[in-house]
Amino acid sequence: MGFWFPQSAFESLYLNPKMEREKQIYRVTLVGSAGNALLVVFKFIAGVVGHSSAMIADAVHSLSDFITDIIVMVFVGISARPQDQSHDYGHGKFETLASLFISLALFCAAVGIIASGAIKFAAWLGGADLASPGRLALWAALISIFIKEILFRYTVRKGRELESSALKANA
């Protein structure tokens, strides 16, 4: 390439298909994490201002999505490492392990949402008044559905293209 950038370094950074795959997975995950971070703040504010515990629970779900984005980035970085003495076939299985952690994180978020809903429902059965959500919560839900659908389609498409189990699980 040039005297200051040896050919071997150029090849390893830009011509190595495994590195290119890793960069694309990072790019997709960064887009998703940015969307999820914005949705966490947006849904939480809409839930509090709009008196919607469902929207606050959805903000928690978006937070779990943000956390799974971080899991993908960490484990894809590990899985891209070449083989070494303790990993004869490389580190590729770490991406599969990321899928397991993503599943567990989403399961925990679901349990938390169910528990929160059950507590509210029990309070309602006991005669407690529940605040009616405002229009802001409705609009936040509609905007959230639209954004999450776009993020889902983008992530699952790239997960299939890149044959990434972690991206598909995160979608």
The string of pLDDT tens digits covering residues 102-156 is 788 778 878 887 888 888 889 889 988 877 788 888 898 899 999 999 999 999 9
Q: Give the confidence band of 74 by pLDDT, cuts at 50, 70, 90.
A: confident
Type of residue numbered 141: A
What is the reported pLDDT for 81?
Answer: 62
End-to-end CA separation in angstroms for the chain: 38
Cβ count within 10 A of residue 163 = 10
- H-helix or E-strand spanning residue 45: helix 17-49
Cα separation, 139 vs 141, whole angstroms: 5
Q: Where are the domains of the chain?
A: 18-81+88-170
Name the residue with higher pLDDT: 88 or 67.
67
Its pTM surpasses 0.75: no
One DSSP character per residue, 85-97 reads TTBTT-STHHHHH
User: Is the pLDDT score of 54 beyond 80?
Assistant: yes
Q: Give the confidence band of 85 by pLDDT, cuts at 50, 70, 90.
A: low
What is the reported pLDDT for 73?
Answer: 79
User: Is the pLDDT score of 18 beyond 70?
Assistant: no
Q: What's the whole-number average pLDDT of the chain?
A: 79
What is the reported pLDDT for 67?
Answer: 86
Q: Give the confidence band of 12 by pLDDT, cuts at 50, 70, 90.
A: very low
User: Is the pLDDT score of 15 beyond 70?
Assistant: no
Name the residue with higher pLDDT: 115 or 82.
115
Q: What average pLDDT does this structure show over 30-52?
A: 92
Cα separation, 120 vs 114, whole angstroms: 10
Q: Which residue has the tokens 């309602």?
A: 124
